[in-house]
């Protein structure tokens, strides 16, 4: 599902080793470590992703 999507690096990632990328496809959001693009991917439905972001903002 996420093989042909555009991955975007988080604006909160620094220029060093702490980089997170996200991709949006259909009703899902994926997150991965940009240093390991072929490694594990965490997949969330959009409601859970929104709740995760809201929790970070509080």
The reported pTM is 0.77
Q: Is 2 domain-assigned?
A: no
Q: Provide the number of structural domains found in the chain.
A: 1
Looking up tokens 């965490």 gives 42
Per-chain mean pLDDT for the chain: 86
Q: How many C-beta neighbours within 10 Å does residue 30 have?
A: 18
Q: Is 44 domain-assigned?
A: yes
Q: Is 1 domain-assigned?
A: no
- Proportion of the chain above pLDDT 70, given as a percent: 88
- For 11-38, what is each residue's pLDDT tens digit? 777 666 678 899 998 889 999 988 888 8
Q: Is 52 domain-assigned?
A: yes
Which comes out higher in pLDDT, residue 40 or 9?
40
Q: What is the pLDDT of residue 20?
A: 87
Q: Is 3 domain-assigned?
A: no
Q: What is the pLDDT of residue 42?
A: 93
Residue 49 belongs to domain spanning = 8-57
């Amino acid at each position: 599902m996420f093989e042909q999507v555009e991955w975007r690096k988080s604006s909160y990632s620094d220029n060093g080793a702490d980089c997170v990328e996200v991709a949006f496809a259909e009703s899902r959001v994926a997150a991965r470590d940009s240093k390991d693009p072929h490694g594990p991917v965490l997949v969330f439905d959009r409601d859970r992703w929104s709740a995760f972001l809201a929790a970070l903002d509080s």
